[in-house]
Structure 1
Amino acid sequence: MKPPDHKIYLASKSPRRRELLRQIGVEFELLLLRDQGPRGPEVSEDVHPNEPPHEYVARVTREKAEAASKAMVWRRLPMRTVLTADTTVVIDGRILGKPADPPEAVAMMRALSGRTHQVLTSVVVSRDEQVWQTTQRSDVTFATLSDAAIQAYCATPEPYDKAGGYGIQGMAAVFIANIGGSHSGIMGLPLHETAQLLMQAGIPIL
């Protein structure tokens, strides 16, 4: 067991980010932000007008970090290092969010079919008044997909909680012909870059 002050807060609902942190031996507790309800989300993920994807994903991640730090104080939690992250899928400079329904998921898969797109994951590690941040880019090439394959995939639950409508760790892995960059970054947390930030914040890795 690591000393208690080496445990961090993970401000993310993503089960994939939890798995990835466990993979590198980081101990964490969840610090979940409100994403719905009468008062709305604590952090809006709306894109600002003319906001480039790289700036968008970095801004949202910083805002999540700021909200998590405030929540830690409001909830009177033990003060710890906080990790937040956000992942965005981009094609032709256009951000693809989480599809709301099967027609939108099908449209996304058709847009990605036979093309190379980008996956941007920004990570923030914050402690006290200090903030460390990096944004990692991976290039992902899809094979050309038949309409039958697209329809079958979009009939499963998998596309609907993931940016871009797919998850590399799921069934969509069979669509991916090539990746350049970080496999874990495409999953939602680039481990090399995340480990570097955590070590800068004084969290030991290995």
Structure 2
Amino acid sequence: MEKIILASSSPRRKELLEQVGINFDILPSNEEEIITKINPSEIVEELSLQKANSVLKMVTNDSIIIGADTIVSLNNNIMGKPHDKNDAYNMLKQLQNNTHTVYTGVCVIIKKGIDCKVIVFHDSTDVTMYPMTNKQIYDYIDTNEPFDKAGSYGIQGQSAIYIKKICGDYNNVVGLPIAKLYNTLLDIGIDLKNY
């Protein structure tokens, strides 16, 4: 039976898989990610494929490898993880009192012997934030929560008080559209909860 491998060191993706009772190992990708696409949905699919492929090179046993990547897009401007406090401030200043879209790409590689089946998809969720004062933005940055998160915020963390509404899958914003992942694989006869 294949082993499930999460090709990510994200604590949020780990928690989502654990939350629904999936048994898995963690083996993060160690290769530099290269973006060649422009459209946000294509970028996250490309990056998730790169992560899963990187881990595929490290495994020899039959495996189900799950790679994922999340970005925030506002008016077609891509927002990844902030480089510093100024970067975080600039992102949050743009996001506050506005609606943006969170894209998560998922790549699943099912390795059986020398055969590999590759499934790539994405999900998107619109997020509307309440207005934030400069002090609120700086206070939130001082929590250090923004620094490992696309768009400089974590919906499941202290920024929750600034989220006005979402349209789409909440877990997609957290970093993994777990229901879509589960049901996409169920459609081809793979029940991730039975591994």
Taking structure 1 as the reference length, what is the TM-score of the superposition?
Answer: 0.87
Q: Any idea what the Cα deviations from partners look like across 1:59-98, whole Å, max 9, x if unmatched?
A: 111111111111214xxxx321111111010000011011
Asked if residue 192 in structure 1 is aligned to residue 179 in structure 2, the reply is yes
The residue that corresponds to 1:132 in the other structure is: 119
The residue that corresponds to 2:44 in the other structure is: 57
The residue that corresponds to 1:38 in the other structure is: none
The residue that corresponds to 2:11 in the other structure is: 15
User: In structure 2, do the counterparts of structure 1 residues 82 and 201 end up closer, same or farther at CA, with 3 Å as the change threshold?
Assistant: farther
Q: Which runs of 5+ in 1 are unaligned?
A: 35-41
Q: Which runs of 5+ in 2 are unaligned?
A: none
Asked if residue 88 in structure 1 is aligned to residue 75 in structure 2, the reply is no
Counting strand residues as a fraction of each chain, which structure ranks higher?
A: 2
Distance 1:205 1:29 in 2: 14
- The one of 163, 172, 195 equivalent to 2:159 is 172
The residue that corresponds to 2:85 in the other structure is: 102
Q: 1:53 deviation in Å?
A: 1.2
Distance 1:19 1:55 in 2: 25
- Matching residue's letter, 1:202: I
- The one of 187, 190, 195 equivalent to 1:202 is 190
Count of paired positions? 189
Distance 1:47 1:149 in 2: 33
Structure 2 contact 69–105 (Cα < 8 Å) conserved = yes
Q: 1:204 deviation in Å?
A: 4.0
- Matching residue's letter, 2:191: I
Q: 1:197 deviation in Å?
A: 3.0
2:94 aligned counterpart, secondary structure: helix
- The one of 128, 133, 137 equivalent to 1:141 is 128
Q: 1:159 deviation in Å?
A: 0.3
Structure 1 contact 105–160 (Cα < 8 Å) conserved = yes
The residue that corresponds to 1:122 in the other structure is: 105
- Matching residue's letter, 2:45: A
Structure 2 contact 6–26 (Cα < 8 Å) conserved = yes
Structure 2 contact 29–52 (Cα < 8 Å) conserved = no
| CA RMSD, Structure 1 to Structure 2 (Å) | 1.5
Taking structure 2 as the reference length, what is the TM-score of the superposition?
Answer: 0.91
Q: 1:33 deviation in Å?
A: 1.9
| Structure 1 segment 149-168 matched on structure 2, within 5 A | 149-168=136-155
Q: Any idea what the Cα deviations from partners look like across 1:78-119, whole Å, max 9, x if unmatched?
A: 321111111010000011011111111011110001000000
Structure 2 contact 100–127 (Cα < 8 Å) conserved = yes
Distance 1:132 1:151 in 2: 40
The residue that corresponds to 1:39 in the other structure is: none
Q: Any idea what the Cα deviations from partners look like across 1:34-56, whole Å, max 9, x if unmatched?
A: 2xxxxxxx131x443x7111111
Distance 1:16 1:189 in 2: 8
The alignment-based identity, stated in percent, is 35
Q: 1:6 deviation in Å?
A: 5.3
